[in-house]
Amino acid sequence: MGKIQLTKVRKAFGETEVIPGIDLAIEDGEFVVFVGPSGCGKSTLLRLIAGLEDTTSGVIEIDGKDATNLPPAKRGLAMVFQSYALYPHMTVRKNIAFPLKMAGMPEAEQAARVERAAKVLNLTSYLDRRPGQLSGGQRQRVAIGRAIVREPAAFLFDEPLSNLDAALRVGMRQEISELHQSLKTTMIYVTHDQVEAMTMADKIVVLNAGRIEQVGAPLELYNNPRNIFVAGFIGSPKMNLIEGPEAAKHDAHTIGIRPEHISVGDGPWEGVVGLSEHLGSDSFIKVDVPGLGIINVRGPGELGVHHGDRIRLAPAGKIHRFDDKGLAL
Partner 1 sequence: MARAASPRRKLITTLAAWTVALIIFFPVLWMILTSFKTEASAVAMPPQFLSADWTLENYVEVWGRSAYPRFFWNSVVIAVGSTLLGLVIAIPAAWAMAFVPGKRTKDLLMWMLSTKMMPAVAVMIPIYLLFLRFGLLDTRIGLVLVLMLMNLPIIIWMLYTYFKEIPAEILEAARMDGASLWNEILYVLTPMAVPGIASTMLLNIILAWNEAFWTITLTTTRAAPLSAFIASFSAPQGLFYAKLSAASAMAILPILILGWFSQKQLVRGLTFGAVK
Could you say whether residue 103 binds partner 1 (CB under 8 A)?
yes
Could you say whether residue 311 binds partner 1 (CB under 8 A)?
no
Specify whether the CB–CB gap between 93 and 127 falls below 8 A.
yes
Tell me which of 52, 70, 170, 272 binds partner 1, using CB under 8 A: 52
Report the distance separating Cα 42 and Cα 209, nearest Å: 9
Q: Give 325's contacts (C-beta < 8 A, 6+ positions apart).
A: none
How far apart are CB 173 and partner 1 at their closest, in Å? 22
How far apart are CB 15 and partner 1 at their closest, in Å? 14
Could you say whether residue 145 binds partner 1 (CB under 8 A)?
no
Helix 136-148, helix 107-120: angle, nearest 10: 130
According to CB under 8 A, which residues from 153 to 182 bind partner 1?
none
For residue 37, the 8-state DSSP code is S
Interaction mask 75-94, partner 1, x per CB under 8 A = --xxx-xxx-xxxxx-----
Could you say whether residue 132 binds partner 1 (CB under 8 A)?
no
For residue 221, the 8-state DSSP code is H
Could you say whether residue 279 binds partner 1 (CB under 8 A)?
no
Could you say whether residue 120 binds partner 1 (CB under 8 A)?
no
Q: Among candidates 186, 180, 213, 226, which has minimal Cα distance to 321? A: 226
- Beta pairing class for 16-26 and 31-35: unpaired
End-to-end CA distance of the chain: 38
Q: Which stretch binds partner 1 (CB under 8 A): 97-105, 204-212, 215-223, 317-325?
A: 97-105
Could you say whether residue 198 binds partner 1 (CB under 8 A)?
no
Specify whether the CB–CB gap between 273 and 295 falls below 8 A.
no
Residues forming the site for partner 1 (CB under 8 A): 50, 52, 71-73, 77-79, 81-83, 85-89, 98-99, 102-103, 146, 150
